[in-house]
A and B are shown apart, each in its own frame.
Chain A
Amino acid sequence: MPCHLTKCKILYQIPFWFALLLTACDFTQVNNPYPKDQDDKAILYQSFDERPKTLDPATAFAANEYAFIAQIYEPPFQYHYLKRPYELVPLTAAKMPDIQCVDKQGEKLSASADIKDIAFTDYIIDIKPNIKYQPHPALAKAATGDYAFHHLSKEQIANLNTLTDFNDNGSRELIAEDYVYQIKRLAHPKTQSPIAEMMKNYIVGFGEFSDKVKQLPKTAIKDVPMAGVTAINRYQYRIRIKGKYPQFMYWLGMMFFAPMPWEADVFYDQPGLSDKNITLHWYPIGTGAYLLAENNPNRRMILERNPNYHLETYPNEGEPDDKQADLLADANKPLPFIDKVIFTLEKETIPYWTKFLQGYYDASGIASDSFDQAVQFTGSGGVQLTESMKEKGIYLQTTVEPSSFYMGFNMLDTTVGGYTEPARKLRQALSIAIDYEEFISIFMNERGLAAQGVLPPGIYGYEEGKAGINPYSYEWTGGRPQRKAISAAKQLLKEAGYENGIDPKTKQALILYFDTTSTSIDDRPRMSWYRKQFEKLGIKLVIRSTDYNRFQDKMRKGNAQIFVWGWNADYPDPENFFFLLYGNNGKVKFGGENASNYQNPAFDRLFEDMRNRDNGSERFQLIQHMQELVRHDAPWIFGFHPKRFSLSHSWFQNRKPHAMANNELKYLRLDTATRTQQRQTWNQPVLRPLLVSAFLVVAAFAYGIKAFRQHTQKTLQ
């Protein structure tokens, strides 16, 4: 028995020793996912939920790829960070390009020349001297002057696992030839650039170059000339495009036209490196504000300040309110302000949101399940943060994205398609009946703006107020657009020959078919809502859910009747939206992006005229005319333009939502002292339950032993 007592005493002392251990240890912020030595450093913490497919600027096109490469690569032009409407400004270019129109003979034409006389347009771009690439082994040179790592042996490659395993890095100056080389890369079939086919229509010699080099390795294109793209001298190059295409300027602000040193392809093309995932897809080489220091798309991507970054300063002008919003406090200061950006793979919204609230992410979007926790609506319909968010000093920024979502009709369909008056009235009636304001309220937490036309706000030609509404579906009442009453829709339906939704052929409710990829149980409420919208008119909607591949197939073959589609702007120009309705882009006939297969000769003529014009009153009028035609023909039921809600902590500064630019990291600033202090305050662990739990475990253990002894003794008896 004394022995048992001693054991028990020790047992009962465990909580005491455990408590002592707890008090002896530093238990502040035990939930910190980052090393403690990062606390006071200017490191921005962000997340990504899907790994990028590629970081090669010739092939990357998705938003999650641009989030990285836009910080690393530099096309000649970029969007001004603060000015609205969006405006292109030089980045590596010394000035805006010299644009010269020429005729078939190569003679220069005046700026006001008739578009029919313009055979080509030359873009002559001057780049700044003394811009250097990030340190990279592809550019490292040995003492002999040869490239150090362009002829690696099998043994050398066997010892490599990542790019950091190379013992030397080099750099060199950015030259015009690098921009020319990148355009050649776009044309090479092996690069598989998503814009290659499109650029064949614009850049002179692009298609011919592609045919010429298709059998050659990627590394052999440097010295093969492309007729329309030439380096005039070390710092100047020219791109010649067919005819006039003013939107080409926007392409020059995209990553596809960022420079690439030829050494990169030679380096990465060495056999064996791709087996280690050491490729240009995963290890970029750019001149931008940041370089990719760690690339583990399965877990974490780290950007670090490029030590060779050229002088670029924070803008000193913006919108009138920017000064008041403290967005000009850093004017003229050299960029970037943040030393390192750590992107962590975070697939689920719950841990992501929790980490944001704990201060371990500096900014966040708002997922549906945390919306009510973050945002509340005011009586006047505005949005504001909840008290708990305000207490943490979090601030909210909202912006309407340059995207349009719509319900499209297949204009080739015999029931809903066509250009007859009854068909048009049927579509107009449905445009009234489908209440997208309700949709935005129910399914989007009011994060959307009901669309009145093809163009989203912020795109040239978008008109606000009474003049900008869709008169076929809305009325201007009380200073705002009001959807027409359902009686108006019923009247239109009657005029279309479907009184009370009855199909005269069958004498039963008209049946329409909605093709969608929404197949999950989560989509059912949305599908049910669509059905109810059609039922308002007595029309029966049949949902034809299918997987994405089959849906695409139906769309290509014209077998879909009604569908939902969307478009996110490539660049802020109305051409990038209206081309979705241009007849020659019909999906069925031409495999283009016109999913509705809308083909109205009057619209097409206006589009052809509008797309080549510079912004001005004439172009604006053309756009309004096109809007009117589309509203009248109603090949689309205009849906909504999504609103982006962004939350940021108080220490995260200089944030201004920008729907077109992706290279905004260099403008951002962190107040790390505040962040460290706030994290400390918010993340003190609650240790009392731990002590109680430990005590309970010990008590249960002691009770178990006691019960066990009693039980065994009882058995023996």
Chain B
Amino acid sequence: MINYIIRRFLYAIPILIGVNILTFVLFFIVNSPDDMARMQLGQKHVTQQAIDNWKHQHGYDVPLLWNEKAKAEEKLTNTIFYQKSVGLFMFRFGTSDSGRNISADIQERAWPSLTIALPTLIIGLIVDICVALMVALFRGSKLALGGMVLCVILMSISSLFYIIGGQFVIAKVLRWVPISGYDDGFAAVKFIILPVLIGVFSGLGSGVRWYRTLFLEEVEKDYVRTARAKGLTETQTLFRHVLPNAMIPILTGVVVVLPMLFMGSLIMESFFSIPGLGSYTIDAINSQDFAIVRAMVFLGSVLYVIGLLLTDISYTLVDPRVRLS
């Protein structure tokens, strides 16, 4: 398995280079270094000299991908792409174009994101599985049918509606929790109740339907019929046999998103003023801060690769038939 993991990490290198090139090209199709300088310098009294000066200070005064005027290997190395990309592979994200250290910012913002995302994932998972089991148990009944209709309705509503509706009812009308904000440590609890509740509720429809499908698929299998034939109760069948087998796709589905939890949720964090990573990339795109954009895309890619690797590993743990080689 070690060899497999090493091989997967080596495979990741060309993927990350590709992602980096793609990000670079897409970013500079829309923005030029001059545009970036103007954005950073503000809209008033900006002269070409000031723009040239900014580009020089930030290393944007060399060609993008290929430096024709340079000699030998400097044709490649004395370019914006090379100079801004090499550090990424050593996880040195450098400073943003506005002067803040990106690594420090990411470290600081990842935790609030996780504070919301992790409870939402765990509670959501438990609630979704419980409800899905219930629906699977009552399959064919009016209760199950009603449940599925409700799930479709829940799925059809925008998450923005849940956020605004939740804030209006729970925080504004009933005044049970602060409408937005964040604090450190235990004091954060009162701030995360509402976003977690909304996160769980907004994911309920799709989650229940997905897990119900998995359970029903298992319920129809021969070993379940055998279990029933042996005289096991429905509860025993469901919890001892169906649930462990249905957990394989559930587990792998959860493991793949685990690393991405650090990246946060844009809308949720924006509405609840959570100082997480959710809006970090969008803010950077709006302010044309290429340093942050490339760092966040790179980090996202790395986390996704790790997520996929963890998924593969988790397969071997939950399903003895799977072997990584």
Give A residues with C-beta under 8 Å from B: 30-33, 35, 51, 53-54, 61-62, 189-190, 192, 194-198, 274-277, 279, 281-282, 296, 298-300, 344-348, 350-352, 354-355, 358, 360, 547-549, 552, 570, 591, 593, 683-686, 689-690, 704, 707-708, 711-712, 715-716
Whole-angstrom distance from the CB of A35 to the nearest CB of chain B? Answer: 7
Evaluate whether A593 and B38 lie within 8 angstroms (CB atoms) in the complex, with A31-B175, A277-B104, A350-B271 already known. Answer: no
Checking B31, B101, B171, B174 against A354 with a beta-carbon cut-off of 8 angstroms, the contacting residue is B171
Distance between Cα atoms of A354 and B53 in the complex (Å): 45
Asked if B181 is at the interface of the complex by the 8 Å CB criterion, the answer is: yes
Q: Could you jot down 17 A-B contacts, CB within 8 Å?
A: A30-B177, A189-B57, A192-B50, A192-B57, A197-B50, A274-B101, A296-B275, A344-B181, A346-B273, A350-B167, A354-B171, A354-B172, A358-B172, A358-B179, A360-B178, A593-B44, A711-B137
User: Are A194 and B178 in contact (CB-based, < 8 A)?
Assistant: no
Sample of 16 further A-B pairs with CB below 8 A, known A194-B45, A281-B99:
A30-B175, A31-B177, A33-B181, A53-B99, A196-B50, A274-B99, A276-B104, A281-B100, A346-B180, A347-B271, A347-B273, A351-B273, A352-B180, A358-B175, A683-B175, A712-B233
User: Are A192 and B273 in contact (CB-based, < 8 A)?
Assistant: no
User: Are A345 and B275 in contact (CB-based, < 8 A)?
Assistant: yes
By beta carbon, the residue of chain B nearest A690 is: B176
Interface flags for B293-323 (1: CB within 8 Å of A; 0: not) read 0000000000000000000000000000000
Q: Which residues of B contact A274 (CB under 8 A)?
A: 95, 99, 101
User: Are A351 and B234 in contact (CB-based, < 8 A)?
Assistant: no
Interface flags for B156-191 (1: CB within 8 Å of A; 0: not) read 000000001001000111111111111000010011
Asked if B206 is at the interface of the complex by the 8 Å CB criterion, the answer is: no
Interface residue count for B (Cβ, 8 Å)? Answer: 62
User: Are A31 and B105 in contact (CB-based, < 8 A)?
Assistant: no
Whole-angstrom distance from the CB of B268 to the nearest CB of chain A? Answer: 11
Q: Which residues of A contact B47 (CB under 8 A)?
A: 197-198, 591
Checking A61, A296, A716 against B233 with a beta-carbon cut-off of 8 angstroms, the contacting residue is A716
User: Are A298 and B178 in contact (CB-based, < 8 A)?
Assistant: no
Distance between Cα atoms of A53 and B30 in the complex (Å): 22
Evaluate whether A690 and B174 lie within 8 angstroms (CB atoms) in the complex, with A348-B270, A350-B271 already known. Answer: yes
Across the A-B interface, give the 7 residue pairs with the lowest CB-CB distance, nearest first.
A299-B275, A351-B180, A33-B178, A298-B275, A33-B181, A549-B35, A197-B47
Interface flags for B132-144 (1: CB within 8 Å of A; 0: not) read 0010011000010
Whole-angstrom distance from the CB of B110 to the nearest CB of chain A? Answer: 11
Whole-angstrom distance from the CB of A345 to the nearest CB of chain B? Answer: 6
Interface flags for B31-54 (1: CB within 8 Å of A; 0: not) read 110010010111011111110011
Evaluate whether A707 and B143 lie within 8 angstroms (CB atoms) in the complex, with A31-B177, A296-B275 already known. Answer: yes
Q: Which residues of A contact B177 (CB under 8 A)?
A: 30-31
Q: Which residues of A contact B42 (CB under 8 A)?
A: 61-62, 194
Asked if B3 is at the interface of the complex by the 8 Å CB criterion, the answer is: no
Q: B-side binding surface: helix, strand, loop or mixed? A: helix
Whole-angstrom distance from the CB of B131 to the nearest CB of chain A? Answer: 10
Distance between Cα atoms of A425 and B270 in the complex (Å): 49
Evaluate whether A708 and B50 lie within 8 angstroms (CB atoms) in the complex, with A549-B30, A685-B175 already known. Answer: no
User: Are B272 and A351 in contact (CB-based, < 8 A)?
Assistant: yes
Q: Which residues of A contact B56 (CB under 8 A)?
A: 189
By beta carbon, the residue of chain A nearest B32 is: A549
Interface flags for B88-108 (1: CB within 8 Å of A; 0: not) read 000000010011110111001
Give B residues with C-beta under 8 Å from A: 30-32, 35, 38, 40-42, 44-50, 53-54, 56-57, 95, 98-101, 103-105, 108-109, 112, 134, 137-138, 143, 164, 167, 171-182, 187, 190-191, 233-235, 270-273, 275, 279, 283, 287
Whole-angstrom distance from the CB of B4 to the nearest CB of chain A? Answer: 36
Distance between Cα atoms of A716 and B231 in the complex (Å): 8
Q: Which residues of A contact B108 (CB under 8 A)?
A: 296, 298
User: Are B175 and A189 in contact (CB-based, < 8 A)?
Assistant: no
User: Are A54 and B50 in contact (CB-based, < 8 A)?
Assistant: no
With most chain A CB atoms within 10 A of its CB, the pick from B100, B173, B279 is B100
Q: Which residues of A contact B44 (CB under 8 A)?
A: 61, 194, 570, 593
User: Are A712 and B234 in contact (CB-based, < 8 A)?
Assistant: yes
User: Are A704 and B134 in contact (CB-based, < 8 A)?
Assistant: yes
User: Are A192 and B54 in contact (CB-based, < 8 A)?
Assistant: yes
Whole-angstrom distance from the CB of B237 to the nearest CB of chain A? Answer: 9
Distance between Cα atoms of A360 and B191 in the complex (Å): 15
By beta carbon, the residue of chain B nearest A716 is: B233
Q: Which residues of B contact A360 (CB under 8 A)?
A: 178
Distance between Cα atoms of A190 and B57 in the complex (Å): 7
User: Are A711 and B234 in contact (CB-based, < 8 A)?
Assistant: yes
Q: Which residues of B contact A716 (CB under 8 A)?
A: 233-234
Evaluate whether A351 and B271 lie within 8 angstroms (CB atoms) in the complex, with A33-B178, A686-B174, A716-B234 already known. Answer: yes
Distance between Cα atoms of A686 and B173 in the complex (Å): 8
Checking B30, B98, B176 against A31 with a beta-carbon cut-off of 8 angstroms, the contacting residue is B176
Checking A54, A197, A198, A354 against B179 with a beta-carbon cut-off of 8 angstroms, the contacting residue is A354
Distance between Cα atoms of A53 and B181 in the complex (Å): 22
Checking A51, A197, A552, A708 against B49 with a beta-carbon cut-off of 8 angstroms, the contacting residue is A197
Distance between Cα atoms of A300 and B109 in the complex (Å): 13
With most chain A CB atoms within 10 A of its CB, the pick from B41, B179, B235 is B179
Evaluate whether A685 and B48 lie within 8 angstroms (CB atoms) in the complex, with A345-B275, A549-B30, A716-B234 already known. Answer: no
By beta carbon, the residue of chain B nearest A686 is: B174
Distance between Cα atoms of A686 and B174 in the complex (Å): 5
Evaluate whether A689 and B174 lie within 8 angstroms (CB atoms) in the complex, with A35-B187, A350-B167 already known. Answer: yes
Q: Which residues of B contact A351 (CB under 8 A)?
A: 167, 171, 179-180, 271-273
Q: Which residues of A contact B233 (CB under 8 A)?
A: 712, 715-716
By beta carbon, the residue of chain A nearest B289 is: A53
Whole-angstrom distance from the CB of B178 to the nearest CB of chain A? Answer: 4
Q: Which residues of B contact A689 (CB under 8 A)?
A: 174
Q: Which residues of A contact B287 (CB under 8 A)?
A: 53
By beta carbon, the residue of chain B nearest A566 is: B43
Checking A35, A299, A711 against B138 with a beta-carbon cut-off of 8 angstroms, the contacting residue is A711
Q: Which residues of B contact A547 (CB under 8 A)?
A: 30
Q: Which residues of B contact A197 (CB under 8 A)?
A: 45, 47, 49-50
Checking B180, B187, B234 against A355 with a beta-carbon cut-off of 8 angstroms, the contacting residue is B180
Distance between Cα atoms of A167 and B38 in the complex (Å): 40
Q: Which residues of A contact B95 (CB under 8 A)?
A: 274
Distance between Cα atoms of A282 and B99 in the complex (Å): 9
By beta carbon, the residue of chain A nearest B173 is: A686
Checking A279, A704, A712 against B99 with a beta-carbon cut-off of 8 angstroms, the contacting residue is A279
By beta carbon, the residue of chain A nearest B35 is: A549
Distance between Cα atoms of A716 and B101 in the complex (Å): 65
Q: Which residues of B contact A685 (CB under 8 A)?
A: 174-176
Whole-angstrom distance from the CB of B103 to the nearest CB of chain A? Answer: 7
Whole-angstrom distance from the CB of A292 to the nearest CB of chain B? Answer: 15
Q: Which residues of A contact B99 (CB under 8 A)?
A: 53-54, 274, 279, 281
Distance between Cα atoms of A196 and B49 in the complex (Å): 10
By beta carbon, the residue of chain A nearest B176 is: A685
By beta carbon, the residue of chain B nearest A280 is: B99
Checking A54, A552, A593 against B35 with a beta-carbon cut-off of 8 angstroms, the contacting residue is A552
With most chain B CB atoms within 10 A of its CB, the pick from A31, A279, A684 is A31
User: Are B171 and A277 in contact (CB-based, < 8 A)?
Assistant: no
Distance between Cα atoms of A168 and B217 in the complex (Å): 67
Whole-angstrom distance from the CB of B24 to the nearest CB of chain A? Answer: 17
Evaluate whether A552 and B234 lie within 8 angstroms (CB atoms) in the complex, with A346-B180, A351-B180 already known. Answer: no
Q: Which residues of B contact A196 (CB under 8 A)?
A: 50
Q: Which residues of A contact B101 (CB under 8 A)?
A: 274-277
User: Are B104 and A354 in contact (CB-based, < 8 A)?
Assistant: no
Distance between Cα atoms of A277 and B102 in the complex (Å): 9
Q: Which residues of B contact A195 (CB under 8 A)?
A: 45
By beta carbon, the residue of chain A nearest B275 is: A299
Q: Which residues of B contact A61 (CB under 8 A)?
A: 42, 44
Checking A53, A190, A279, A684 against B175 with a beta-carbon cut-off of 8 angstroms, the contacting residue is A684
